[in-house]
């Protein structure tokens, strides 16, 4: 009887996914959830988006975008196809598949904070029904799906793999990257059971060009961590190389460009003022925390994290030296920070090292301003507060600052004008290749 129930639920769900009559529920409509919503809507599915932020919900239902690289026209097209946003979790029983895309930050002790995932799961529990598929996309440590989500779901008497289906499929969005779209990025998927995996592969296969099945949810969880730890470690290496090269009066960017001509065995990574974004500064701590439960000390990963975490302070040291050579101290100096988003050509400020640079400069007594065409007004943030708006770059405004700190290299900046009119530039991104009298490379 149990096998028959599993077979009936699975066949019904996969059939609805294949013929696109299934309703897709996306929980969390941010940088991950909203692109996924639009993709399923474009594939002909009716999508119900659930988010606790009423402002987001209202904007979406007016066909307005709140993410810079997503046009409002795409949301309008999804709305025409039946997409609806809501803050009402009682509607969670309507979708055939629920995809959870909520944040997984760190707490004050740099330990995993699963409160968003667990609170969301608990809010969904009263409305989860037979035959539904639940997919977690939030980055987390290996074991989260089986140790946290599965017991909660089964506490209602629903057997995972028979009555409901549970998978982990890590998000791989890269906001602002013009070379990839949601559907062109391969999707890793691991299931709690073989039936769960079949359901998950069918769910994502209906909207994503290539689905990569793996043997378990734990494998899928560790895959995501490896991807981002790989980047964090390599960025840590090149940041350390930058410090060494600086002492030797060698331009690390010239070194990287030369090394990148090797057609095999080398991948170019570039230094910067620190790590930013919702993944790379955070994900290594999820693995190091979990590894301690197994009596393991992730020395290599933690060392890279220390190097990357120290980069803002190293940059401030270069700022201090540059001002000192001009007979000025940081205290009382007017400093303009160029670019406060965490990476080029996006408005996303999560974990941005630019904000840490601004705070250190402010604490040292500098008069800090910023210019960022993607962030016209400094947003409300949980840990950072500035009552500032973006400065418009003109020859006059550039000349009025003692130092310009180039922190994020947006394409919209006129770097030639900046070079000509800024009194002093500290370049953390290698924008200026040649040696210039008013440019210090950091």
Residues carrying an active site annotation: 279
Q: For residue 415, count CB atoms less than 10 angstroms from its CB and return exposed for 0-12, middle for 13-18, buried for 19 or more.
A: middle
Asked if residue 333 lies in contact with residue 400, where contact means CB atoms within 8 angstroms, the answer is no
Spatial distance between the Cα atoms of 140 and 290, rounded to a whole number of angstroms: 10
- CB contact burial 109-139 (16+ within 10 A = b; e otherwise): eeebbbebbeebbeebeeebeebbbbbbbbb
- CB contact burial 144-153 (16+ within 10 A = b; e otherwise): bbbebbbeeb
Asked if residue 364 lies in contact with residue 287, where contact means CB atoms within 8 angstroms, the answer is no
Angle at Cα 48 formed by Cα 44 and Cα 49, nearest 5°?
A: 120
DSSP label at residue 192:
S
Cβ neighbour number for residue 70 with a 10 Å cutoff: 16
The strand pairing partners of 377, in sequence order, are 389
R_g of the chain computed on alpha carbons = 24
Start-to-end Cα distance in the chain: 67
């Amino acid at each position: 009887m149990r096998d028959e129930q599993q077979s009936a639920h699975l066949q019904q769900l996969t059939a609805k996914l294949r013929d696109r009559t299934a309703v897709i529920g996306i929980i969390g409509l941010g940088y991950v959830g909203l692109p996924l919503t639009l993709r399923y809507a474009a594939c002909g599915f009716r999508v119900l988006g659930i988010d606790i932020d009423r402002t987001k919900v209202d904007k979406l239902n007016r066909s307005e975008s709140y993410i810079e690289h997503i046009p409002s026209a795409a949301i309008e097209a999804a709305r025409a196809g039946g997409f609806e946003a809501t803050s009402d979790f009682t509607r969670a029983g309507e979708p055939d598949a629920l995809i959870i895309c909520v944040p997984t930050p760190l707490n004050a002790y740099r330990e995993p904070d699963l409160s968003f995932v667990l609170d969301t799961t608990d809010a969904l529990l009263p409305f989860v029904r037979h035959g539904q598929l639940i997919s977690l996309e939030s980055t987390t440590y290996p074991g989260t799906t089986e140790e946290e989500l599965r017991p909660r779901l089964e506490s209602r008497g629903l057997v995972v793999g028979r009555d409901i289906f549970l998978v982990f499929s890590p998000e791989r969005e890269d906001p602002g990257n013009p070379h990839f779209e949601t559907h062109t990025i391969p999707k890793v998927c691991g299931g709690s059971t073989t039936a769960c995996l079949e359901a998950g592969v069918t769910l994502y296969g209906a909207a994503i060009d290539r689905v990569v099945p793996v043997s378990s949810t734990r494998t899928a969880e560790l895959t995501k961590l490896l991807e981002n730890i790989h980047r964090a470690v390599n960025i840590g290496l090149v940041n350390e190389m930058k410090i060494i090269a600086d002492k030797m009066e060698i331009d690390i960017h010239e070194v990287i460009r030369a090394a990148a001509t090797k057609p095999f065995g080398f991948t170019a990574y570039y230094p910067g003022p620190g790590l930013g974004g919702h993944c790379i500064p955070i994900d290594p701590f999820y693995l190091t925390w979990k590894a301690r439960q197994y009596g393991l000390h992730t020395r290599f990963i933690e060392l890279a994290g220390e190097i990357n975490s120290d980069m803002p302070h190293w940059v401030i040291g270069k700022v201090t030296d540059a001002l000192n050579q001009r007979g000025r101290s940081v205290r009382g100096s007017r400093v303009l920070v160029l670019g406060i988003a965490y990476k080029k050509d996006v408005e996303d400020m999560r974990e941005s090292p630019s904000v840490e640079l601004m705070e250190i400069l402010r604490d040292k007594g500098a008069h800090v301003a910023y210019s960022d065409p993607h962030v016209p007004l400094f947003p409300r943030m949980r840990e950072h507060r500035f009552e500032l708006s973006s400065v418009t770059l003109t020859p006059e405004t550039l000349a009025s600052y003692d130092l310009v700190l180039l922190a994020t290299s947006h394409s919209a900046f006129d770097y030639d004008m900046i070079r000509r009119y800024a009194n002093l530039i500290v370049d953390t991104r290698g924008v200026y290749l040649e040696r210039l009298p008013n440019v210090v490379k950091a």
